Structure 1
Amino acid sequence: MPSNHPSYALIFDMDGVLIDNTPEQAKAFQLLFRDLGLTTNARQLLRRLNGMPATNILKTVFTNPVPKKKLEEYAAQRELLYRVLYWNKRRELAGLTRFLEAARAAGLKIALGTGSAPETIGYIIDHLNLRRFFDVVVGKADVENGKPHADTFAAAARKLGVPPERCVVFEDAILGEQAAYKAGMRCIAVLSSLKEKDFQAPLTTIQDFTGITPAQVLELLAQQPETPKPSKAMAQRNYMKL
């Protein structure tokens, strides 16, 4: 499989993949829960539901239904807390820029597929000067259903003009991995917050981007041509009723 083939694509989640920000995300949720008088453990919650839009995550912590507008207000409050906590910590995962430069040089197409809103995306990728690498950016505003649905990654592939079987998704979350499989794609798991055993069937796992090359990614695709089917057991354990 030639490494400069133009019709292969890499699709990156943002939180926990481009950056290692899950601890600050959890702290922001925990501070919000404290203000709301909730005892939910944010770290445990994100282990199961990380990757979903914040409003959907928040929906799971209330016993009674909460109006959409109120959930959006809570999500905005959490976003402000997160930005304050993460303001001086914004830095890319080790090796990311070099990897993206190599992928671009190899002729691969590159997309960002995240559940974040446009302003949150810009807060990270523009501050870190990463937008220049992405042919396509797909976020919360671009799809009807966020992860664990396939919409985010499917939209990215469609905009890139690359068939799903030629796409590799980089994900740090269980639900993101499942979204990739639902979209008919393979996945590489980034172990920024979870362990290898937490994932279903990634092509490989990485701690950061220092020990992998685009050529190795394409070789993994050739070695493992079948896309895993989404795990019903993991769906029951992690999706809950969403």
Structure 2
Amino acid sequence: MIDAYFFDLDGTLVDTEILWVEATEMLAKDMGHPLSHETALRLVYGISWPGVYEGLLKEIPGIDWTLDQMGDILAPYFLQLRDSRDVRILSSIKLLKTLAKEHPVAIVSGSYCTDVKAAIDLMDIMPYLRFYLGHEDYHPGKPDPACYLAAAAKMGVSPKNCVVFEDSTAGLTAGIDAGMYAVALSRPGRPAQDYSRAHLILEDLADYHPSRLICAH
């Protein structure tokens, strides 16, 4: 029995995970310490903001920002990239709306709450959500299961009866270690992740059906 669905945001509902990687590359270049694309991927893709911050401190000499200041500094680069393309993953958004007709649905993201809210507004899905959680709402970040345990508690459901949709190794680990079913979104052309623990792997969430999850499990 499935009591609730939880969606990751970046890389699952909106194709913004890779934009944060590109924004980090742009910032590092402007600071005079360019990062290779491979290094930026390792530092940012699927990593919680505290993890990104710690990684940048090691890679770029002389950083004197706080964690919260890092978000403010990266934001203009990210917004420039986001505004240049349609980042919505339409099939994922459609699935969220469909599931919300019969089940409670929430977003559990590692992004700052202001960024989560902006993405929700962009997708026009607030009426379909019970709530959303962002970086400030739990600790520690993914891959720790704290985020999904907090989401289940807020929803008033048992973790074992929940499904998470994630695109990153860290996110899947968080959901599985919370005791939930985990569906991996493995979109073509996106950085390789370890989906070996996922209960179901899909290239497009349009192909999701609960029966497939149960059969795969």
Q: Same fold (TM over 0.5)?
A: yes
TM-score, length of structure 2 as denominator length: 0.86
Deviations 1:171-209 (A, max 9, x none): 1111111111221112111113244x7322212222222
**SS across alignment from 2:210:** helix
**Who is 1:202 aligned against?**
198
138-147 or 71-80: bigger deviation:
71-80
How many angstroms apart in 2 are the aligned matches of 1:194 and 1:205?
A: 15
How far 1:223 sits from its partner (Å)?
5.0
State how far apart, in whole Å, the 1-side matches of 2:64 and 2:196 are.
Answer: 32
Q: CA deviation at 1:69?
A: 4.4
**Offset of residue 92 of structure 1:** 2.3
How far off its partner does 1:165 sit? 0.7
Deviation digits for residues 96-133 of structure 1 (CA, Å, limit 9, x no counterpart): 3432232123x212110001112101221112201221
Partner of 2:179: 184
Q: Do the aligned partners of 2:49 and 2:135 also contact (CA within 8 Å) in 1?
A: no
In 2, distance between residues paired with 1:41 and 1:75? 21
The answer on whether the counterparts of 1:9 and 1:162 sit within 8 Å (CA) in structure 2 is yes
Match of 2:168 in 1: 173
Aligned positions of 1:1-242 closer than 5 A:
8-47=3-42, 49-63=44-58, 69-105=65-101, 107-192=102-187, 193-195=190-192, 198-212=194-208, 216-221=209-214, 224=217
Q: CA deviation at 1:150?
A: 1.1
Task: Report the AA paired with residue 10 of structure 1.
Answer: Y
The 3 A distance-change label for structure 1 pair 16 and 61 is same
Q: How far apart in 2 are the matches of 1:207 and 1:194?
A: 13
The 1:167/1:48 distance shift into structure 2, 3 A limit, reads farther
Tell me the CA shift for residue 146 of structure 1: 1.3
Tell me how far apart the structure 1 counterparts of residues 78 and 44 of structure 2 sit (CA, whole Å): 17
1:171–1:188 CA contact under 8 A, matched in 2 = yes
Could you tell me which runs of 5 or more consecutive residues in structure 1 were left unpaired when the two chains were aligned. Answer: 2-6, 225-242
After superposition, what is the alpha-carbon deviation per residue over 1:40-80, rounded to whole angstroms, capped at 9, x for unaligned?
Answer: 33444435753333342131133399888434323321122
Task: Read off the aligned partner of 1:50 and give its amino acid letter.
Answer: Y
Greater relative contact order: 1 or 2 (C-alpha under 8 angstroms, separation 6 or more)?
A: 1
Separation in structure 2 between the aligned mates of residue 26 and residue 90 of structure 1, nearest angstrom: 17
Displacement of 1:88 = 3.9
Give the Cα separation in 2 of the matches to 1:25 and 1:10: 25
* Matching residue of 1:240: none
Q: Residue type of the partner of 1:161?
A: G
Letter in 2 for 1:101: K
RMSD: 2.5
- Matched letter for residue 79 of structure 2: R
Q: What amino acid sits opposite 1:146 in the alignment?
A: G
Letter in 1 for 2:41: L
Q: Which moved more, 1:75-84 or 1:203-212?
A: 203-212
Q: 1:50·1:175 contact (CA, 8 Å) conserved in 2?
A: no
Deviating more after overlay: 130-139 vs 37-46: 37-46
Structure 1 contact 166–185 (Cα < 8 Å) conserved: yes
| Alignment partners' CA distance in 2, 1:54 and 1:80 | 16
